[in-house]
Amino acid sequence: MMKSRHYLIFLLMMLPFAVKAELTIDVVGGAAQQIPIAVVPFLQSTGQQDTIANIVGADLRRSGLFRVLETRGVSNQPHEASEINYPEWSSIQAQALTIGKVESLAGNRLKVSFRLLDVYKQNQLTGFEFNIAPSQQRATAHRIADMIYQKLTGETGVFSTRIAYINKAAGRYSLLVADADGYNPQAVVSSKEPLISPVWSPDGSKLAYVSFEKKKPVVFVQSLLTGQRYVLANFKGNNSAPSWSPDGRRLAIVLTHSANSQIYLINADGTGLQSLTSSSAIDTEPVWSPDGSTIYFTSNRGGSPQIYRVGAAGGEPKRVTFDGAYNVSPRLSPDGKLLAFIKQGSGGFRVAVQDLTNGQVQVLSDTSQDESPSFSPNGRMIIYATNIGGKGALAAVSSDGRVKQRLSDNGGDVREPAWGSAAN
Amino acid sequence: MSKSLLVSVLLAAMLAACSSKAVKEAPVVDKTPSAPAVTETAKPAMADDSATTTGATQTDMSVNPLKDPNNILSKRSVYFDFDKDEVKPEYRPLIEAHAKYLVANPAAKVFIQGNSDERGTREYNLSLGQRRAVAVKKMLSLLGVQDKQIETVSFGEEKATPGCKDDACYQQNRHADFAYENE
């Protein structure tokens, strides 16, 4: 009886549940050249107020690459290509125009169609039609924004991706997964003891994280589909800093056994533990290069914490950062060309990037207690944890430093962000 | 108790321990009634106060030396400087007292929990807390405590009081603690 009740509580704890506090995102800066775009409210034949155009507009604006124009002053509000009066849109300086509509289908389905048009050339750039359940309108709006973004910038959009982060509120720690715009946060796991270091599996189906629920750090892996989880590493001492290999088969982790933090590799099912580094210093925060050949990590073997790299098959570590006395938390851009990390300087702890081809370092953030950088899947943005007004908050900065965002959560302290792939 | 008195009492206790001679009857710890070394370890904190010494007949938990506020064993924290893991000399008596307790109670197991202040990143601080725990463990080992009695873990900056503005506040968060199993 006791056992089954514990099991039930455990199950309840594992079930995703909706969380009230959503992240709200404010854009602080923008790209030098923003694309002016008009997004006309979609025609809703369902009788409801349109939300899709708002979400598409907000996504594009948040990226910092678009100037989303006010459309209410334009007398003609088209929903079909044939209804467009192009001079009206050139007169408000729109280069691109998005129109669309939502129609009811049989069986409680909706048909959402949209077109993206070039105002100067007066032709269609792209268009698409979705057959969806009514609950999928938000997700569809993100997919439309992704298609517009890709067509106009040539890059892959990240509006359909998700972020994982830790929220601390009322003495409880929750690992949350939300849409990239902060909506729809779902608790993956919740505990009275700290949760840190969540990382996405490369296919986006699982999260590895560190939980202190056993009164010491232990690494868990949890499926987002089923909510089921298993202990990846619970060796003597600390178990922490998980990082997935690009093929998802192994993880790099940090174990202490009876001494200092050292880096190990372990199969994703918890078997096949092998040692990667052995030093008398701190070796921690391993992360794989996108091609799987190299592991970057933080070590104070030279007297101060710096970033090093070592072959995934072992070998002699080589130092990577030289500028400054405290460089930690390495993360590789998806193309493997940029190293993002946390650098301590006169302004405090800030997000910096180092170009791995020429070694040039650029400090990107203007906040002062930054931690846990994480690249967006397209490499354009870096989300990180910081402190705003004495409280943990999330922020993001573009990898060229031009676009800055603040993500705030009224419900508590937020930290440890990890940017994941698109929701399936 | 003043520090100098504490130190002298400890020295006396150590000397007593060296000569393997129980100085005085002392309370018994939980259900292992005959652990002579415990009497020596438990002795110092009672030196200035006979009220807690009720004799060997007492078998309840009220005089567990680990819990006795008058016993140095109830003091559990060793504090560190920023980004450092060296144990400062002022904490040697505390560590020596715990070492004696652990040597005298080979079945006892202790977790050394390292902590850091909130500056820097969580994973690096987790490792830093671990270094502090290991530094304390090394001293315990030198004092004869068996490896299997000690597990070092770190909480990093997770237990730190948030919002510190000065080093006096940060300093309170840089510590390694003794936590006995089943406490």
Per-residue pLDDT tens digits for B65-80: 888 888 999 999 999 9
Is the pLDDT confidence value at B13 over 50?
no
What does the pLDDT look like over A295-326, one tens digit per residue? 999 999 999 999 999 999 999 999 999 999 99
Is the pLDDT confidence value at A76 over 70?
yes
Which residues on chain B are in Cβ contact (under 8 Å) with A243? Answer: none
Residue A224 or residue A410, greater confidence: A224
Look up residue A285 and give its two tokens: 């925060």
Which residues on chain A are in Cβ contact (under 8 Å) with B120? Answer: 305, 326, 328, 344, 349, 371
Mean pLDDT of the region A2-7: 48
Distance from CA of A310 to the nearest CA of B (A): 18
Position B166 scores a pLDDT of 87
* Partner B contacted by A236 (CB < 8 A): yes
* Partner B contacted by A298 (CB < 8 A): yes
Position A29 scores a pLDDT of 67
Q: Do A238 and B124 touch (CB under 8 A)?
A: no
pTM attached to this predicted model = 0.83
Is the pLDDT confidence value at A244 over 70?
yes
Q: Do A282 and B128 touch (CB under 8 A)?
A: yes
Is the pLDDT confidence value at B128 over 50?
yes
Position B44 scores a pLDDT of 36
Chain B's closest residue to A255, CA to CA, is B127
Confidence of residue A391 (pLDDT cuts 50, 70, 90): confident
Confidence of residue A20 (pLDDT cuts 50, 70, 90): low
Which residues on chain A are in Cβ contact (under 8 Å) with B130? Answer: 237-238, 256, 260-261, 282
Residue A422 or residue A284, greater confidence: A284
Residues making up chain B, counted from first to last: 183
* Partner B contacted by A417 (CB < 8 A): no
Position B183 scores a pLDDT of 81
Position B28 scores a pLDDT of 39
Distance from CA of B6 to the nearest CA of A (A): 31
Instruction: Considering only the beta carbons, identify the residue of B121, B150, B155 that sits closest to A328.
Output: B121
**Residues with Cβ within 8 Å of residue A354, at least 6 apart in sequence:** A320, A321, A338, A339, A341, A360, A361, A362
Distance from CA of A50 to the nearest CA of B (A): 43
Mean pLDDT of the region A328-343: 97
Mutate to test the interface with A, among B126, B141, B169, B183 (most CBs of A within 10 A): B126
Mean pLDDT of the region A368-379: 95
| Mean of per-residue pLDDT scores for chain A | 92
Mean pLDDT of the region A325-342: 97
Position A6 scores a pLDDT of 52
H or E stretch covering B15: helix B3-18
Confidence of residue A421 (pLDDT cuts 50, 70, 90): confident
Residue A30 or residue A227, greater confidence: A227
Which residues on chain B are in Cβ contact (under 8 Å) with A255? Answer: none
Q: Give the 3-state secondary structure of chain A.
A: CHHHHHHHHHHHHHCCEECCCCEEEEECCCCCCCEEEEECCCEECCCCCCCHHHHHHHHHHHCCCEEEECCCCCCCCCCCHHHCCHHHHHHCCCCEEEEEEEEEECCCEEEEEEEEEECCCCEEEEEEEEEECHHHHHHHHHHHHHHHHHHHHCCCCCCCEEEEEEEEECCEEEEEEEECCCCCCEEEEEECCCEEEEEECCCCCEEEEEECCCCCCEEEEEECCCCCEEEEECCCCCEEEEEECCCCCEEEEEECCCCCCEEEEEECCCCCCEECCCCCCCEEEEEECCCCCEEEEEECCCCCCEEEEEECCCCCCEECCCCCCCEEEEEECCCCCEEEEEEEECCEEEEEEEECCCCCEEECCCCCECEEEEECCCCCEEEEEEEECCEEEEEEEECCCCCEEEEEECCCEEEEEEEEEECC
Position B69 scores a pLDDT of 87
Which of A136-145, A337-346, B10-19 shows the lowest mean pLDDT across its residues? B10-19
Distance from CA of A391 to the nearest CA of B (A): 8
- Burial code (b: 16+ CB inside 10 Å, e: under 16) for B35-68 equals bebbbbbbbbbbbeeeebbeeeeeeeeebbbbeb
Q: Do B158 and A285 touch (CB under 8 A)?
A: no
Position A17 scores a pLDDT of 53
Is the pLDDT confidence value at A15 over 70?
no
- Please report the residues numbered 55 through 94 in chain B whose beta carbons come closer than 8 angstroms to any beta carbon of chain A: none
How far is residue A19's CA from residue A192's CA, in Å, rounded to a whole number? 16
Distance from CA of B162 to the nearest CA of A (A): 8
Is the pLDDT confidence value at B45 over 60?
no
Is the pLDDT confidence value at A190 over 80?
yes
Confidence of residue A411 (pLDDT cuts 50, 70, 90): low
Position A356 scores a pLDDT of 97
Q: Do B153 and A305 touch (CB under 8 A)?
A: no
Look up residue B124 and give its two tokens: 């690096």
ipTM > 0.90, yes or no: no
Q: Do B119 and A241 touch (CB under 8 A)?
A: no
- What percentage of chain A carries pLDDT values higher than 90? 82
Q: Do A197 and B120 touch (CB under 8 A)?
A: no
Chain B's closest residue to A253, CA to CA, is B123
Look up residue A338 and give its two tokens: 């940029």
Mutate to test the interface with A, among B83, B119, B124, B148 (most CBs of A within 10 A): B124
Confidence of residue A19 (pLDDT cuts 50, 70, 90): low
Q: Do A261 and B127 touch (CB under 8 A)?
A: yes
